[in-house]
Amino acid sequence: MNFILAGHGNIAVEMKNSIEMIVGEYPNLHAITFQLGDGIETLKDKYLKIINPPTDQPFIIITDIFSGSPYNAAAILAIQLENIEVITGLSLPLCLALLHLDYASISFEEAFEQLNDIQSDFIKSFKKISKDIAEDEEF
């Protein structure tokens, strides 16, 4: 599976650096920036330089926010090219989970369902966890 990280400013490049700090170099992981003055067409061109159609290799584009310019440009390409899926909510836990799914045996849809199943592992509240532990210790 091929991955493209995209977001406002340099968030995607720094996310890629963080991922590779944890799991090592990942040759199918790419990052693009969205800088002030860039538009949808600029973003589409950045995506297409990586995707380089016509290829049937699957790509998952992970963007920072739903309906932002990086997402919108990726969604346009996903409409045009069947081998692209777009996911929003760029975060380190999400990316690490996506990188470790077995895409040889699951579809895009199944991968997204698995992410939904484990998303509660991504967001934790220290105070809630501490309260739960304290309540458990009282019994």
More confident residue, 85 or 107: 85
What confidence score (pLDDT) does residue 114 get? 81
Answer whether residue 22 shows pLDDT above 80: yes
Pair 70, 13: CB distance under 8 Å: no
Answer whether residue 139 shows pLDDT above 70: no
Active site residues: 8
pLDDT above 90: percentage of residues in the chain: 63
Answer whether residue 119 shows pLDDT above 80: no
Which residues partner with 88 through β-bridges?
A: 63
> Per-residue pLDDT tens for 71-90?
999 999 999 999 999 999 99
Q: Where are the domains of the chain?
A: 2-137
How far apart are the C-alpha atoms of 134 and 48, rounded to whole Å? Answer: 52
Which residues partner with 9 through β-bridges?
A: 34
Answer whether residue 28 shows pLDDT above 90: yes
What confidence score (pLDDT) does residue 136 get? 80
Answer whether residue 123 shows pLDDT above 80: no
Give pTM, 2 decimals. Answer: 0.86
What confidence score (pLDDT) does residue 95 get? 92
Q: What is the mean pLDDT of residues 34-48?
A: 96
DSSP notation for the chain: -EEEEEEEBTHHHHHHHHHHHHH---TTEEEEEE-TT--HHHHHHHHHHHH-SS----EEEEESSTTSHHHHHHHHHHHH-TTEEEEE---HHHHHHHHTS-TTT--HHHHHHHHHHHGGGT---HHHHHHHHHHHHH-
- What CATH superfamily classification does 2-137 receive? Phosphotransferase system, mannose-type IIA component (3.40.50.510)
What confidence score (pLDDT) does residue 111 get? 82
Q: What is the mean pLDDT of residues 83-111?
A: 88
Which residues partner with 62 through β-bridges?
A: 5, 87
Q: What is the mean pLDDT of residues 49-76?
A: 93
